[in-house]
Structures are given as C-alpha cells and as structure tokens.
C-alpha cells in the first residue's frame, strides 16, 4: 500500500462518522504497523477517541452533527439515554446536564472523552424496554427514555427522596415542569405501574392524578 495514504482516503472508505479499530485496520492492513498509523491519526487530531477501540472523525471530516445521544448509544450498549439528559431533551427541566446518563443492560461504567462524560447505570429493573423510543433523524437516530420512563429511571436511582410530598420533590429537587409533564401521554406510566413499588408507588399515584 502507498504509505502516503491520507485521511481523505480513509474518510471516503468509512461510511459512518463513528467507527471501530477493526474498520481502520482493514484499511491499513498494508502497513507493517497499523497501530502506529492509528496513533498518528489520533495525534494529528484527524480522528478522536470515544473509548478504547471506538472513534469519530474531527468535525471538518464528519458528514453531519454528532449528537450526544448517538455517541452514548455507541460507546456502551445495549443502552438508552435517560434521567437528566432525557428530561432536558423532552423539555421537562430547564438545565442542560453536563453529563449524559444512560441505562444499560451491562455493569455500570463511566467514559470520559473530548465530548464530555458518559455514565451508564446498570438496569436495576425488569422494566428496561418499557418506554424506550427512537429520537433524531436518519443516521442521527438514537434510543432515549420517553418522558415518564426518564423520570422513573431518575427516581429509581435517587436515594435522596423517601416518598414524602411528591409535588415538592418533583418541582424543587428535580425542577420538573409539571405543566409540560401534564401534556405527556400516560401510557408509559401505566405500563410502568407494576414495577413501581415503595416511594415509586407514591410517585405513580401523584402522576396519575396530574
């Protein structure tokens, strides 16, 4: 292989903006040391590491915007984005979280890269697949918790609340916009009902009356 192979050639051969070491090594198999070439591409900034073995191109080389949701789904899975990230995405809280939290079938993990911090909580409930939806368009589609599922995941993992005064907890602690929440389809809430016990049951009764 011509040792002058450049990033434009690599970009043209890799169809997606997120790709693996295996894809790179297949293109670089003519090199005696493909790993050294990958290290050079990282050092030059042409490619960016998302986690070990997973990369994206630098912004000028990407074919479109790269969303946090797409990265989160790709970095560790199976998983879907939830909690504050999903609550913000659905307009239920005013803040944009500085960290992307996902719920995963595997053990809890955390990854930090140039784009931010991505955390993954182990799924503590058999309700994993309930209320998970696709968001985004075309190649930027990703799995995300629907509004009530994101709230369920947040409260399930929040040890600060004992079930007293759900309205105060939602508005003051979580900063949930209850007017926006009232407009959401409650089918997911009803589907989650069998899995909502203890303080979550108190939350269910409050939400059902909204």
- Ordered by start, the domain boundaries in the chain are 7-61, 68-208
CA distance 103 to 144: 9
Report the alpha-carbon distance of residue 174 to residue 168 in Å, rounded: 9
DSSP assignment letter at 199: H
Distance (Å, rounded) from C-alpha 205 to C-alpha 203? 6
Alpha-carbon span 47 to 7, nearest angstrom: 9
Q: To which residue do tokens 């199976």 refer?
A: 78
pLDDT in tens, the chain (210 residues): 344 468 999 999 999 999 999 999 999 988 889 999 999 999 999 999 999 999 999 999 999 999 999 999 999 999 999 999 999 999 999 998 999 999 999 999 999 999 999 999 999 889 999 999 999 988 899 999 999 999 999 999 998 999 999 999 999 999 999 999 999 999 999 999 999 999 999 999 999 999
Task: Please give the angle made by the CA atoms of 23, 29 and 34, to the nearest 5 degrees.
Answer: 80
Q: Where do we find the tokens 């799924």?
A: 123
The tokens describing 29, both together, are 């198999």
Kindly compute the dihedral angle of the four CA atoms of residues 175, 180, 183, 184, in this order, to the nearest 10 degrees: -50
Pairing of strands 109-113, 132-135: unpaired
Helix 199-208 × helix 147-156 angle, to 10°: 150
């Amino acid at each position: 292989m011509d040792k002058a192979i450049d990033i434009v050639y690599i970009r043209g051969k890799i169809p997606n903006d997120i790709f693996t070491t295996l894809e790179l090594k297949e293109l670089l198999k003519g090199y005696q040391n493909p790993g050294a070439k990958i290290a050079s591409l990282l050092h030059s900034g042409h490619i960016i590491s998302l986690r070990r073995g997973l990369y994206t191109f630098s912004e000028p080389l990407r074919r479109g915007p790269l969303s946090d949701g797409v990265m989160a789904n790709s970095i560790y899975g199976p998983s879907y984005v939830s909690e504050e990230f999903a609550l913000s995405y659905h307009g239920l809280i005013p803040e944009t979280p500085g960290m992307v939290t996902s719920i995963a079938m595997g053990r809890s993990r955390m990854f930090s890269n140039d784009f931010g911090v991505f955390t993954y909580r182990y799924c503590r409930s058999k309700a994993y697949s309930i209320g998970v939806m696709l968001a985004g368009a075309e190649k930027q589609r990703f799995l995300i918790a629907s509004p009530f599922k994101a709230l369920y995941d947040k409260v399930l993992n929040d040890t600060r609340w004992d079930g007293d005064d759900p309205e105060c907890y939602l508005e003051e602690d979580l900063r949930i916009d209850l007017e926006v929440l009232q407009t959401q389809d409650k089918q997911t809430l009803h589907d989650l009902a069998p899995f909502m016990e203890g303080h979550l049951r108190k939350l269910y009764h409050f939400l059902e009356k909204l």
